[in-house]
Structure 1
Amino acid sequence: MQAPSFGGVKIPSGNGQTIRLPRGSSLADFGDRIGVNPASLVQVMMHLGEMVTATQTVSDEILQLLGAELNYEIQIVSPEDEDRELLESFNIEYGEDEGDDELLVARPPVVTVMGHVDHGKTKLLDAIRSTNMVAKEAGGITQHIGAYQVSTEVDGVERKITFMDTPGHEAFTAMRARGAQATDIVVLVVAADDGVKPQTTEAIDHAKAAGAPIVVAVNKIDKEGADPQRVRAQLTEYGLVAEEYGGDVQFVDISALQRLGLDRLLESIVLTADAELDLRANPDQDAQGLAIEAHLDRGRGSVATVLVQRGTLRVGESIVCGDAYGRVRAMLDEKGEQVDEAPPSRPVLVLGLTNVPSAGDNFLVVKDDRVARQIAQQREARERFAQQARTSRRVSLEDWESRLKEGEREELLLIIKGDVSGSVEALEDALLKIDVGDEVNIRVIGRGVGAITQNDINLAAGDPGAVIIGFNVRPEGKNQELADRMGVDIRYYSVIYQAIEEVEAALKGMLKPEYQEVQLGTAEIREVFRVPRIGNIAGSIVRSGTIRRNSKARLIRDGVVISENLTVESLRRFKDDATEVREGFECGIGIGYSDIRVEDVIETYEMQEKPRD
């Protein structure tokens, strides 16, 4: 097949050959795969009406467009596939239990507590763990994900259960969904006096999507107006039928406040796990699992709460967690006591990572620090390129000029810093969902965990108008003074509602004002006076409202607008200048327009700003 020519540049046809490219690749990456000078591909893109540099990260659709033009089939490798291929290159299989069935042993169930806000999820965990967690939370809202292991006795045998606590506020949907994916059983908390609410149904959807069995805890049975049977009836509409009604879902009536029914709830969780799930894992392989939460501790550095899903994690092992890596210096349990190893389904706090991983990142043990560093660096680069690809915008030759003028479009730039990665992610997700129309939008130019640093302030100063949002964090050292000196706006929040409301108000303030016309008055022309060097003056009588000097005006003749955008340049009562003339009075009006006639009507108006909804 003859090589196609683009502006004199000839590039061999791919003849349908398949090229695999990671998300966020550049033309240089494409050129390396097919043995073509990237400069030639730049000319091809110009021929196709796209302005792209050789090293610029481009979107998936641009790669597909270029491939189709050169007769190559482009396969964009997903981040998951890319990560799997990366681990395979190090002979690591993630997500699989090694060995035969005889090596697998029973593990405790991992339970996620879900439900509507204020239905008592944290009170329930508080009662189970006998700790007062609610008092520490701003506004009584769970802001972080935590994990805890408790013991109970079933049929005379001690059984362990791992609880994951996911936040109840609707803005934390992404965190709650990720909790469901890491869980075996969902405990759905429904208040007996309140019934099924929007977040209750949302939690049911997450649990069903994860394929997790549900145990319903009907809470607050001690309150006046409590009706546990009504809750059972409501949930049948969502496919949750109680065992006493012939279904297969266990309902347990409890009172977290009075600590009633907790033993029966724990027993129901164990029985559900035994009946519906085969929970086994190999404790002898290298540990793998999930980062549930992570934050920056001033005294201990980067710490991450991880859930071991298979294998056993030990102190001194090299691990990689997302784009963070390090050697496990110490592990702490939910009581803050040091442990040497963590078997399957055990949540522990890990110290020793180089940086803060994201909530939801997988972790795995590797043979040494060098391998951990290589995997972490490649993951970081992949994520950076993918992020650039998501934010890169297509600019064609046809709309190049109009895009240059796009500075008229308003944009609120944000840098989000929080105490834990889950809060940062959830807050970003909630803020990006704020919709005040197409005129303004939000762009997050930076995010991170820990105190507000000098680098954050410099980043905000480099983009005029950028605002730093500190969620349960403050500037370190003298960075507040630096921010004041550089004119950087830092907003502090401890409850997510307030952050959302204030950012939405700021966005509405950036909207260009809408104006509406408000009529001031009308005047009928009775006589026309010719004044030298000034022009025609309308001797008029005010028929309605008020005629004001300097107000806008239009001339109407026989119901038809003769001239728009006029101004009341002069206004006189007899020989005296007047600021305004009210209805029923006569006056002389000069509107800077000569073609005026008797019986014409002068209508005056002003443009008033219309309040936004």
Structure 2
Amino acid sequence: MQAPSVGGVRLPRGNGEVVRLPRGASLTDFAEKIDANPASLVQAMFHLGEMVTATQSVSDEVLELLGQEMNYQIQVVSPEEEDRELLDSFDITFGEDAGGDEDLLPRPPVVTVMGHVDHGKTRLLDTIRKTNVHEGEAGGITQHIGAYQVATNLEGEERLITFIDTPGHEAFTAMRARGATSTDIAVIVVAADDGVMPQTAEAIDHARAADVPIVVAVNKIDKPGANPSKVRQQMSDYGVVPEEYGGDTMFVDISARQGVNIEGLLEAILLTADASLDLRANPTMEAQGVAIEAHLDRGRGPVATVLVQRGTLRVGDSVVAGDAYGRVRRMINEFDEDVTEALPARPVQVIGFTSVPGAGDTFLVVEEDRVARQIADRRRARLRNAQFAAARKRVSLEDLDKALKETGQLNLIIKGDNSGTVEALESSLLKIDVGDEVELRVIGRGVGGITEGDINFAAASDAVVIGFNVRATGKADELANREGIDVRYYTVIYQALEEIEQALKGMLKPEYEEVELGRVEVREVFKSSKVGTIAGCMVRNGTVRRNSKARLLRDSVVVAENLSVNTLRRFKDDVTEVREGFECGLTLGSYSDLRVDDVIETYEMREKPRG
């Protein structure tokens, strides 16, 4: 079979076989898989209207386009598959309990609390923290680590529940999207005096998408106007049917402020877990789990809150989380106490990472530091390639010049106080949609204050820097002022979204619409050697203005476009406008083919406001 030719370049011909490539692969990677010359692929891409180098990371679409030309099926490997293949190469199995059924022991359920703003999520978590402290700890929980365990009695037996205190369901979704199945049960808080609100419906959707059982906490039952039965009715409309209505969802009436029926809610969580889930894990294997949030501590370096999902994490273990690795030097629980080991479903703060992991990154214990470093390095390289590919806009030869002149792109660098917040803010920003004309790109993200490096990066890439609950260091502030870099500080996520959306809309090219001003009827035509052809007119409707645009109609047919009312007179006086019912004289520049009974329509172009 003859090799295909693109622009005179001979290419190897496939038989429709599948070629698996990672995200952000280069033409060299593709060439190696099919035993071809990378230079010929570069030439072929040039003739297909794409300019790429042999080693440059390219997008999935570019790979698929070239594959079609050469009769290969390109299969871009998902991040999860890439990671599985990477771990397989080190003989590591992630996401499964080692050993047999007899090695699995019961573990506490992991719970996320969601709901509408101001319905009492934070108050409920605070109340639970203060009143249900494990083993009667004196002084209660002193340390906010993003997750904690509480104890409750069920049928005379003390049972533990782990609560994840995330910044809301944006972060919950971001963690889910990265494959971190960290939550077993979702508690949706609904205010009894307010009922189901838009974010309540969102929370239901998020819980359903994550395929986790729901427990509904009907809060604020102590307030006047509280109507718990109305909440049950509204939730039923969304498919969350209470047990008392024949459904399978437990509803618990509580008051987080008064501390009413908190025990009942904890019991409902345990009963739901026992009825719907088989929560067991092997505590004897090497630990695996998920990083819930992480931040950079000035005194202690990178600090990550991790939730152990299987196995037991111990001080001294070599760990890798996302593209961060290290050795567990110290573990701290929510009571600010040092612990030497963490069992399944136990959240702890880990100190010892060399860099800050991302929220939702999976972590695992490996045999030695060398393996942890190799896995982290490969993940980092893979992520960098994928980002380069995503960042590169497809530019065809026809519109290359235009693309260089006008990027239509807003670059952002996001810095926040912890990785969970940065992740939630980034995913929310990327959902802003103002059409195809402009594009939002997050080119950098990180945890901690805004540094000189961030400002230099912003200067090199024309980016805006967003600081969420963080500030610029002294020298970075001076550098930003000197370089004219726009640094925005926010403490409320919605304010950031609103301002960025306005900025994107401001980058859009203005859209204009035609607005009719008036119509005039030509009654007489005069010739003047000085000003040309003059039309004596009657304004039939609207107004006619000097310098407005005009078109000429004869028997309702447009005979001339893009004219302009150059002079406008009432008797011998120059005027700027003439209203309906009055006579006037006007000229349409050098246009002279005017006849009696012609109609002149005048209009102006006005900028349309963006929705």
| CA distance in structure 1 between the partners assigned to 2:565 and 2:210 by the alignment | 70
Q: Which stretches in structure 2 are left out of the alignment for 5+ residues?
A: 132-143
| CA distance in structure 1 between the partners assigned to 2:522 and 2:257 by the alignment | 80
Aligned-partner SS, 1:400: coil
Q: Deviations over 1:206-263 (max 9, x none)?
A: 3344443333322211122222233334444555444444554333221111001112
Q: Report what 2:551 is aligned to.
A: 554
Aligned positions of 1:220-369 closer than 5 A: 220-369=220-369
Q: CA distance change for structure 1 residues 419 and 571 in 2, over 3 Å: closer, same or farther?
A: same
Q: CA distance change for structure 1 residues 443 and 472 in 2, over 3 Å: closer, same or farther?
A: same
Equivalent AA in structure 2 for residue 460 of structure 1: A
Q: Which stretch shifts more, 216-225 or 174-183?
A: 174-183
Q: Report what 2:135 is aligned to.
A: none
Aligned-partner SS, 1:445: strand
Q: Say yes or no: does 1:459 pair with 2:457.
A: yes
| CA distance in structure 2 between the partners assigned to 1:97 and 1:558 by the alignment | 85
Q: CA distance change for structure 1 residues 415 and 122 in 2, over 3 Å: closer, same or farther?
A: same
Equivalent AA in structure 2 for residue 424 of structure 1: V
The CA deviation at 1:534 is 3.6
| CA distance in structure 2 between the partners assigned to 1:166 and 1:316 by the alignment | 28
Q: Report what 1:34 is aligned to.
A: 34
The CA deviation at 1:382 is 1.1
Aligned positions of 1:374-523 closer than 5 A: 374-395=374-395, 399-406=396-403, 407-408=405-406, 410-464=408-462, 466-523=463-520
Contact 1:180 1:186 in 2 (8 A): no
Q: Deviations over 1:448-494 (max 9, x none)?
A: 22212222222322234x32222112112221221122121111111
Q: CA distance change for structure 1 residues 599 and 352 in 2, over 3 Å: closer, same or farther?
A: same
The CA deviation at 1:197 is 3.4
Aligned-partner SS, 2:111: strand
Equivalent AA in structure 1 for residue 373 of structure 2: R
The CA deviation at 1:10 is 4.7
Q: Say yes or no: does 1:182 pair with 2:179.
A: no
Aligned-partner SS, 2:231: helix
Contact 1:145 1:166 in 2 (8 A): no
| CA distance in structure 1 between the partners assigned to 2:561 and 2:2 by the alignment | 64
The CA deviation at 1:126 is 0.7
Aligned-partner SS, 2:398: helix
Q: CA distance change for structure 1 residues 332 and 567 in 2, over 3 Å: closer, same or farther?
A: same
Q: Which stretch shifts more, 214-223 or 71-80?
A: 71-80
| CA distance in structure 1 between the partners assigned to 2:5 and 2:97 by the alignment | 53
Equivalent AA in structure 2 for residue 416 of structure 1: I
| CA distance in structure 2 between the partners assigned to 1:9 and 1:600 by the alignment | 63
Equivalent AA in structure 2 for residue 26 of structure 1: S
Q: Which stretch shifts more, 560-569 or 32-41?
A: 560-569
The CA deviation at 1:508 is 2.3
Identity of aligned residues (%): 71
Q: CA distance change for structure 1 residues 487 and 156 in 2, over 3 Å: closer, same or farther?
A: same
Contact 2:449 2:470 in 1 (8 A): yes
Equivalent AA in structure 2 for residue 609 of structure 1: E
Contact 2:180 2:361 in 1 (8 A): no
Contact 1:19 1:74 in 2 (8 A): yes
What's the TM-score once normalised by structure 1's chain length? Answer: 0.88
What's the TM-score once normalised by structure 2's chain length? Answer: 0.88
Contact 1:180 1:207 in 2 (8 A): no
Q: Report what 1:568 is aligned to.
A: 565
Aligned residue pairs total: 597
| CA distance in structure 1 between the partners assigned to 2:580 and 2:187 by the alignment | 73
Q: Report what 1:139 is aligned to.
A: none
Equivalent AA in structure 1 for residue 435 of structure 2: G
Q: Deviations over 1:514-558 (max 9, x none)?
A: 333344455554544433354233345555555443333334444
Q: Which stretch shifts more, 435-444 or 238-247?
A: 238-247
The CA deviation at 1:107 is 1.9
Equivalent AA in structure 1 for residue 425 of structure 2: L
Contact 1:148 1:162 in 2 (8 A): yes
| CA distance in structure 2 between the partners assigned to 1:554 and 1:7 by the alignment | 49
Aligned-partner SS, 2:428: helix
| CA distance in structure 1 between the partners assigned to 2:531 and 2:326 by the alignment | 85
| CA distance in structure 1 between the partners assigned to 2:180 and 2:103 by the alignment | 27
The CA deviation at 1:370 is 1.6
| CA distance in structure 1 between the partners assigned to 2:539 and 2:246 by the alignment | 82
Equivalent AA in structure 1 for residue 466 of structure 2: I
| CA distance in structure 2 between the partners assigned to 1:179 and 1:266 by the alignment | 27
Aligned-partner SS, 1:57: coil
Q: Deviations over 1:77-130 (max 9, x none)?
A: 222122112112222211122223333332222122222332222111110102
| CA distance in structure 2 between the partners assigned to 1:184 and 1:115 by the alignment | 17
| CA distance in structure 2 between the partners assigned to 1:584 and 1:249 by the alignment | 73
Aligned-partner SS, 2:126: helix
Match of 1:532 among 517, 529, 533: 529
Aligned-partner SS, 2:547: coil
The CA deviation at 1:288 is 0.9
CA-based RMSD of the aligned residues comes to 3.0
| CA distance in structure 2 between the partners assigned to 1:206 and 1:586 by the alignment | 67
Q: Which stretches in structure 1 are left out of the alignment for 5+ residues?
A: 132-143
Q: Say yes or no: does 1:112 pair with 2:109.
A: no
Q: Deviations over 1:59-84 (max 9, x none)?
A: 33433443444444544322212211
| CA distance in structure 1 between the partners assigned to 2:596 and 2:155 by the alignment | 104
Q: CA distance change for structure 1 residues 289 and 567 in 2, over 3 Å: closer, same or farther?
A: same
